[in-house]
Structure 1
Amino acid sequence: MSLEQYLGGQGRSVEIGLVLLSEQWQVLGMNEHALRIAAPDMGPIGQNLFQMHPARSREKVRGILNELSSLQESTQRSMVIDFLGKVLMISLSRLVVPGSSMAWAVSFMDLSEQTGASTNPNSGHLELKKMPIYENGAFHFLSAEQVCLVEADGNYCRIHTPHKKFYLLMSLKAVLQRFPTSDFLKVHKSFVVNLRHVQAIGPAGDSRMMVSFTEPAIPAVPVSRRLIPEVKKALAGTVHPSL
């Protein structure tokens, strides 16, 4: 789904938030939609952006903005994130306004409905039915069934599907929290597998246990020693051990 298709399908209901920032991330202005989200009693204009968020969230916000602002000019400066109970696509643009202190414009759209987002009343975690991916001007909303493997990659996760790989700004722990399906199983500190796509489990040449997949394009991944009993139990009756 392209951005144009998304906007066209939403018609007049789409609202885009816009926040204007200084080089030091001071809020210089907002449109009405962003103001409604920020809440009038927060008095956001003139504040540092980080002060508008709870202390526990500030480093996450700082990391997101640093990630976006450090990208090369040729790279799309957009990310899909889960934040403050919503699923947002945020974009960061450099501003050049002579005689003004404005340096950045942050725009965002709420994709909570498209991802089936809802808060679990027991855990308090935001849970999603689909993974929101934004790549090269297009949205991809991946169901759990489409995902074969989730691989930790720094601040991102690399999502392996039978036909393509995507990046998601979310930790491996957050993926397990956001997508509480019994098909997802953590087999290593860096890997979560989808049991529906696992073909076999068995020792590799260096005596490590490895999980392989029915899709040949998906690389086999190691199993942590301490997780071997749990993984074998979960896979029992689902896949056949390698001979």
Structure 2
Amino acid sequence: MTSLAYQLQRAPVGVIVLDGERRVIAANALARRLLEPVGGSILGADLASLHPDAARPKVQWLLDAARARPGEPAGMAMTLPFGTLVARVTVMEGVDGTDAGWCMIFHVPEGFSVVPTTVPASGDILVKLPVASRSGVVLLDVAEVAYLEAEGHYTRVHSEDGSHFCSLSLAELGRRLDPSVFLRVHRSYVVNLRHAQAIDRRDGRWSIVMAAPHAPLVPVSRSRVDLVRRRLAL
């Protein structure tokens, strides 16, 4: 007889478990692929931080609705960074009968493709980035990139010699850059860890001092602080 954990990992739905503070404490493989399009870990992250700003009130409403009627799962269509999914949430009960958090299950629409977050195949890893120049397009060596910043549907590439415009999105670049070197530290930023010079901690907020003109500070989302700690042995 297969275990429940094994069945959940094989299920064609995304499953995440939240504690009472809305932090993700468990997730199956599909949920991780859906919510980690640029790498990193969702474990320990606040659920709202994994959604666009416009979707966060809906996420909170869904959790509140499930808690208000614990015997009746709440459901709704949710817009995530990668598309619209149907989600259902129910309250979890602890061993002492108290509210222990939530379980969220979301169904992937038929025909919807999910980009895996494992290390990309060697043929897909970018070694050069196409950036705009006065004469057309220049191919920038990825080793020279200090960090990437989302600029609408495009990306601003920052290097030691200045900033450059790239027509690829931050999500696309994140999927094709070496995850052992590049790390998503914020919804709008991906950093090259080899260009990290120092950590700035003020008022409880973290930033990474990058090796680029004027030593810019790249903000670290609260949900990514533990990940940055692990990757930089802090």
TM-score interval, normalised by the smaller of the two chains: 0.3 to 0.5
- Answer 1 or 2: higher relative contact order, Cα 8 Å, separation at least 6: 2
Q: TM-score, normalised by structure 2?
A: 0.45
Q: TM-score, normalised by structure 1?
A: 0.43
Larger radius of gyration: 1
